[in-house]
Structure 1
Amino acid sequence: MESIIWHPCSQMKDYEKNPIIHVKKAKGVYLFDEFGNSYIDGISSWWVNLFGHSNERINNAIKNQLEVLEQVIFAGFTHDKALELSDKLIKIVPQNLKKIFFAEIGSSAVEIALKMSYHYFKNIGLKSKNKFVYLENGYHGETLGALSVMGEPLYRKAYEDILIKNIMVEFPNCYRCPFGKTRENCNIECFEFMKKTLENHAEEVAAVIVEPLVQFAGGFKMYPAKYLSKLRELTKKLNIHLILDEIATGFGRTGTMFALEQAGIEPDFLCLSKGLTSGYLPLSLTLTTDEVYYAFYDDYEKNKSFLHSHSYDGNALACAAACETLNIFSDENVLENNKKKYTLMRQLIENYFKDLDCTGEIRSVGFISAVEFVRDRYSKKPFDPSLRFGFKIYRKALEKGVLLRNLGDLIYFLPPYVINESEIEKLVESSYFATKEVMDENIY
């Protein structure tokens, strides 16, 4: 039967051979399909689920909120859970971030940050600052404004002709370093690309946007915190805003509550979403400074207002889920307890994958691990994309009861924080045997 639903990030024709999995229920780290098969959710259902499916605490928080208020217009009105969430967040983000703008999804948070940055400079009389700098392979969402600062060609190329023209900088490629360095002897030579670009375009650049420490959809490329420190120092010097997109890295995923903590920096804008509600409901936040806020704060007739809105801004149910998510972090010492789990996951991945002929690099930070596969591990030559090596591993893993996703010929491990040791072992072991089976098919 032909699908009525057009699924995201898919070539729908693939589903003729590989039917869509119909999930009937979920609990903890497990998804259960219509036939009773179970799958370990090794990717937190696209990086959003922190504390497991059908988490009793979050379930109850949403149920309780349903009895009080589900939704109210956020222009001219507020509610208890939005105020509670704001108060909780302001206590754990960098001290310079004093104001929060609510929306629904990550790309909206990015669009808001871009618009605020440009509009800020316009309001203070610097109208020439109308461009943004972004990193090659960076991903910030797929709405048109977010696409204009996306460095990943897979998602961008089809729309190139209608995008705002911004400035892309070579990314810090630690696996294939253009300077021949390794992670161990790196001196951040690659920052020179960013330095030259910003110095040459300082008069026209409003902001730089980056994913701190890890480029997720761009291939889980990981780079040193020192790059961020140097970037913050330079942007301050040149009067350029720094936008940190922590939509995927935030809420403990890199080992600290926010990735920026590992660089010891304060951005001008911080974008949050995904794990904010532990995957229950769409909610995103853009945090910024008093300096930015007060550039818009004036008499109405001065036309300095930030006129941006979404119908579900500040949704009360989503805010209730987010408040309980933050409560779980504080009540259950999550960041500390995660260390033992992700250390085990890293060790198992190393033990299983390090000696495979197709393993190019294993990289990890916090509760994120990724394995990049190559045709030749010494030359780092990639597979022919037509082989779909990584996709075949994804399919084999499903047969073994594990949900992974591949990005090209890379697989990644990003489970919910409630996963236990035996589940971690199954996740990694099943992924290894799936990889071995694909290798044994002699496709290369």
Structure 2
Amino acid sequence: MSLTERDQKVIWHPYTQMKNALPHIPIVRGEGVYLFDEDGKKYIDAVSSWWVNIHGHAHPHIAKKVAEQLSVLEHVIFAGFTHEPAVLLAERLLALLPGDQEKVFYTDNGSTAVEVALKMCLQFWSNTGHKGRTKIIAFKEAYHGDTFGAMSVSGRSIFTDPFNSMLFDVEFIDLPTEKNIEQLKSKINYLSNEVACFIFEPMVLGAGGMLMYEGQHLDQLIETCQKHGILTIADEVMTGFGRTGTYFACETLQTKPDIFCLSKGLTGGTMPLGVTTCNQKIFDAFLSDDKLKTLYHGHSFTANPVACAASLASLDILLKPETLANIQRIKSKNEAFAAEIKDHPKVRDVRQTGTILVLEWETGNDTSYLSGLRNQLYLYFLERGIILRPLGNILYILPPYIISDEDLEYIYQTIHQALNDI
């Protein structure tokens, strides 16, 4: 049997209706921006394998550091013990993050990083004697993960429908604009005595539709929260590590959040790791002789040394001048292409931030995640050796930073062709 046939007998894939799923492509090797299937066909990984693979596949520097770590220490329980890769990674992340971040809490992925952030905020108020502050503010179109806390603060959708009755209550607000910013600030003012925290994806909402909004408006919302002591959580799981043109999206804000959630590009796509960082104010609320004020949260693979080593290697590459130059190069190319296609009759909207380019296909009223256009576009690009994963009628590109101008041009040309063919 082929690898695909063997897969069908034993695997249940994510976000997939297995009854009528398209055959899963058997990938046997990765190299740079390319993936190769078992028949030798080459694909451009234009979405960085779910936005994680920022430096390309099988990067030799990351592979070398992971191999070295495996021969020294593969894992140790992180309750009562520590190790050099975890300490060094925390030191380097805290120095790089904007604002006054002081502590790092390790987890396994983006969803668990969000879970920890929410628990930090809710327990902060409990520990400081304000148990009535339990309400959370989030954006209506947000996506923060698939665990229950992360689902609760995500917009209600097909991802959450079967579980809506079990999710905790959240105060959802619209994305801020020039027209509604005063109304949103008034709502926060009105609810302030009940609110524990405000969680947001800065400037770009990922799985919610790659929606984009202005940092200046987010600044105003954070400022309003800070006036009332409302804690703020920046979910930079997708936007972190260069995606928006700076190392972190919040670098462009005047006001900085209390907490950051990181994952995806953290290890350069090598393996799972999540991070939740916080400022000293939050950490201090858990320091007590009362053991009940402890943050009772942990994972078996917390701060795995091999994952930390991969992250340190990924940071080495990220901080090189040529990586930042590549990010700016991709940004410029995307800007030019967005301007080129924005008036096409089949383009409802085109938007771009940093290395993220988004094209919203004109489909009339059928704009859902389950839009029939989704599979049509997906297969169209696969046949031409490009991996894109549309969100319904929304086509987006988030390539590894090493992608060449030639491969970018090929993707752009294929989009042009698709606009004419589909």
**1:303 Cα shift?**
1.8
Q: Relative to structure 2, which stretch is displaced further, 22-31 or 89-98?
A: 89-98
Which residue in the other structure is 1:414 paired with? 398
1:294 correspondence with 2:284: yes
Q: Distance in 2 between matches of 1:358 and 1:398?
A: 21
Q: Give the secondary structure class of the aligned counterpart of 1:361.
A: strand
For residues 159 and 420 of structure 2, the distance between their equivalents in structure 1, rounded to whole angstroms, comes to 30
Structure 1 residue aligned with 2:243: 253
Match of 1:343 in 2: 332
Match 1:242 to one of 227, 232, 235: 232
1:33-432 mapped onto 2 (5 Å cutoff):
33-172=37-176, 188-299=178-289, 301-351=290-340, 353-375=341-363, 382=366, 388-432=372-416
Q: Aligned partner of 1:143: which letter?
A: T
Residue aligned with 2:420, SS: helix
List aligned pairs for 1:16-27, cutoff 5 A: 18-27=22-31
| 1:214, distance to aligned residue in structure 2 (A) | 0.3
Letter of the 1:428 counterpart: Y
Aligned pairs, number = 416
For normalisation by structure 2, the TM-score amounts to 0.95
Q: Structure 1, residues 3-50: CA drift from partner, whole Å, max 9, x if none?
A: 4211001122332xx311110111001111111111100000000001
The amino acid of 1:245's aligned partner reads: D
Report the Cα offset of residue 401 of structure 1: 0.3
- Point out the more displaced range, 18-27 or 388-397: 388-397
Contact 2:368 2:393 in 1 (8 A): no
Contact 1:44 1:416 in 2 (8 A): yes
Q: Distance in 1 between matches of 2:378 and 2:344?
A: 17
Q: What's the secondary structure of 2:16's corresponding residue?
A: coil
Contact 2:363 2:393 in 1 (8 A): no
Counterpart residue type for residue 320 of structure 1:
A
In structure 2, what is the Cα distance between the partners aligned to 1:47 and 1:387?
Answer: 22
| Aligned partner of residue 415 in structure 2, secondary structure | helix
Is contact 2:374-2:392 (8 Å) kept? yes
One-letter amino acid of the structure 1 residue matched with residue 51 of structure 2: W
Contact kept in structure 1, 2:55 and 2:400, CA below 8 Å? yes
Does the 8 Å CA contact 1:42/1:404 hold for their aligned counterparts?
Answer: yes
CA change 1:55–1:382 in 2 (3 A) is same
**Partners of 1:157 and 1:170 in 2: CA distance:** 20
User: What is the DSSP-based 3-state SS (H/G/I as helix, E as strand, rest coil) of the residue aligned with 2:159?
Assistant: helix
Question: Is 2:16 the counterpart of 1:4?
Answer: no
Instruction: Quickly say closer, same or farther: Cα 1:279–1:432, change in 2 above 3 A.
Output: same
C-alpha offsets along residues 162-210 of structure 1, whole Å, 9 cap, x if unaligned? 11111111224xxxxxxxxxxxxx6x22223422331222111100000
> Are 2:142 and 2:154, in contact at CA under 8 Å, matched by a contact in 1?
yes
Cα deviation, residue 156, structure 1: 1.5
* TM-score, with structure 1 as normaliser: 0.90
Q: Indicate the larger mover: 3-12 or 408-417.
A: 3-12
d(CA) in 1 for partners of 2:64, 2:240: 24
| Structure 2 unmatched runs, 5+ | none
Separation in structure 2 between the aligned mates of residue 189 and residue 355 of structure 1, nearest angstrom: 25
CA contact (8 A) 2:47 2:389 kept: yes
Is the Cα–Cα contact under 8 Å of residues 170 and 193 in structure 1 kept in the other structure? no
Q: Return the offset for 1:386.
A: 7.0
Query: Could you say if the C-alpha distance between residues 384 and 257 of structure 1 is closer, same or farther in structure 2, counting changes exceeding 3 Å?
Result: closer
Cα distance in 1 for partners of 2:308, 2:181 equals: 38
For 2:236 and 2:367, the matched residues in 1 are separated by 31
Task: Report the residue type matching 2:381 in the other structure.
Answer: A
Q: Note the aligned Cα RMSD (angstroms).
A: 1.6
Q: Which residue type is aligned with residue 58 of structure 2?
A: S
- Say which is worse superposed, 227-236 or 147-156, in terms of deviation: 147-156
Shift of 1:60: 0.3
Q: Distance in 1 between matches of 2:353 and 2:57?
A: 24
